[in-house]
Amino acid sequence: MNLELDNKVAIITGGAKGIGEGITRAFAAEGAVAVILGRNADEAQAIIDDLAAQGQRADAFHAEMTCENDIKTAVSAILSQYGRIDVIVNNAGGNDAVGLRATPDQFATSLERNVVHYFTLAHYALDALIESGGNIVNIGSKTAETGQGNTSGYAAAKGAINALTREWALDLATVGVRVNCVVPAEVMTPLYERWLEKAPDPVRAREQLDRTVPLGHRTTTIAEIADTVAFIASARSSHTTGQIIYPDGGYVHLDRACTADTSHL
């Protein structure tokens, strides 16, 4: 299926690592110009070089995502370089374990790191998105629905992202800009792999994790998230807006206590 993303300019925040890297590669594979926005310059350049060797296009612009001026400057530089912005993928952030024992200042900082820059980037790129008839894909988290424990800041930010997705979709429907959210649950990123390796029995820990996912009893791959994002951002999903999409093997919405045991089949 041709997603009709050729020559589209897609900004992916945090696009040099983990799920973000997967999204960068998915857009580049579809012929888009995948623009990495973030602070990991060395990792971004390695991805750009690798994609160039495959005949694919990517670029990177530096921004500390908690700095409004960095984001404003980067948007201006991207527009100067490419003349358009077609897609924003708000992805940057991280689960920082800011729980109820954290200070209010730490909670506010967690929100800055995990949701405020979503608004800031959308704000400064808005006119370009309206001009191109583009769209926004926000990356959420299962924690907005399930909770996790000891992560008030991250969970609050991700809940806000779900709400902003619907709010922006309504706000921008009249100007032809779509807004959707893709929600990862249990995705086997390099960071997750390193965390599992710290378990007393990493193999058993991985098996137990896999069993919590109803479909296939396996974690979701980065590519499965990235391909969903590319499709939602493409012309093949041109009448989809305000949706919160869960490519998670049924993790969030199915009863794992029942589906983990397949002995009855």
Residues 256, 215 contacting (CB under 8 angstroms): no
Residues 215, 249 contacting (CB under 8 angstroms): yes
* Contacts with 230 (C-beta within 8 Å, 6 or more apart), sequence order: 3, 5, 23, 26, 27, 30
CA 132 to chain centre: 21
Catalytic residue among 82, 118, 124, 154: 154
How far lies 247's CA from each of 139, 142, 171, 191, in Å?
A: 12, 11, 26, 19
211, burial (CB in 10 Å: exposed 0-12, middle 13-18, buried 19+): middle
Q: What is the dihedral of CA 138, 8, 222, 145, to 10 degrees?
A: 10
Question: Which amino acid would we find at residue 256?
Answer: R
Q: Which residues of 163-181 are buried (b: 16+ CB within 10 A; e: fewer)?
A: ebbbebbeebeeeebbbbb
192 is an active site residue: no
User: Cβ atoms within 10 A of the Cβ of 1, count?
Assistant: 7
Active site residues: 154
